[in-house]
């Protein structure tokens, strides 16, 4: 009878040892999964960090581009302003000269051909001044349109980079949520097995 009890005790110990090995195996597997999840989380955070750095670099680059564009536009506006001012001064001088010439010719009797030539010269000078003003307006409009296009392109690039980063954050959040649920279910199964 004592041998029977020892045999039963031996069998019971063997069963307990086998169950213990199963529990150790399940726990070590779960620990490995936790390690892999931890590594994956660190990898995802590193990727998000690099994406943020990339986006930050893009924003800094866009800001520098916009600053350079503003400087170019300011220099162009100054140049056009100076040209317009010079044209106005020349136009006033020409108008003054034409006015003086007309007054001078009005005092002395001049042949009709000379008056007609002076009038044609006066009209040509006025047309040249008007053409110069139109040319300056076209240059200003062209420079403003080019600056607006460049600025729009830079803003578009920045918006696209921000949208890509937002999508990556959403995918990362979804993956973490799913993996957390999966691990929670696995833990509950292990706990049920350990109780059962």
- What does pTM read for this prediction? 0.39
Give Cα separations from 111 to 99, 106, 108 (angstroms): 18, 11, 10
Name the residue range of residue 88's domain: 2-195
Number of domains in the chain: 1
What tokens appear for 51 in the block?
């994406």
Residues 6+ apart with CB under 8 A from 118: 98, 101, 102, 105
DSSP state of 108: S
Task: Dump pLDDT digits (tens) for 71-117.
Answer: 888 888 888 778 778 887 887 887 777 777 777 766 655 456 655 66
pLDDT in tens, 124-165: 777 777 787 788 778 877 877 887 787 777 777 777 877 877
Q: What pLDDT shows up at residue 161?
A: 76
Does 31 score more than 70 pLDDT? no
Where would I find the beta strands (DSSP E) of the chain? none
Contact between 94 and 67 (Cβ < 8 Å): no
> In CATH, what number is assigned to the domain containing residue 126?
1.10.287
Whether residue 56 has pLDDT greater than 60: yes
């Amino acid at each position: 009878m004592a041998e029977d009890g020892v045999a039963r005790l031996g069998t019971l110990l063997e069963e307990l040892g086998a169950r213990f090995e199963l529990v150790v195996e399940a726990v070590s597997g779960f620990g490995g999964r936790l390690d892999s999840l931890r590594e994956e989380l660190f990898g995802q955070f590193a990727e998000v960090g690099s994406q943020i750095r990339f986006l930050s670099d893009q924003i800094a680059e866009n800001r520098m581009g916009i600053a350079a564009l503003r400087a170019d536009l300011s220099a162009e506006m100054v140049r056009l302003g100076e040209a317009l001012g010079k044209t106005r001064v020349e136009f006033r001088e020409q108008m003054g000269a034409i006015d003086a010439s007309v007054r001078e010719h009005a005092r002395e009797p001049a042949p009709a051909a000379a008056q007609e030539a002076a009038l044609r010269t006066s009209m040509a000078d006025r047309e040249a001044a008007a053409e110069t003003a139109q040319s300056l307006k076209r240059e200003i409009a062209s420079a403003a349109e080019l600056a607006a296009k460049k600025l729009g392109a830079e803003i578009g690039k920045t918006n696209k980079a921000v949208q890509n980063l937002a999508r990556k954050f959403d995918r990362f959040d979804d993956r973490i949520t799913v993996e957390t649920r999966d691990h929670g279910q696995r833990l509950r199964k292990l706990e049920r097995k350990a109780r059962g």
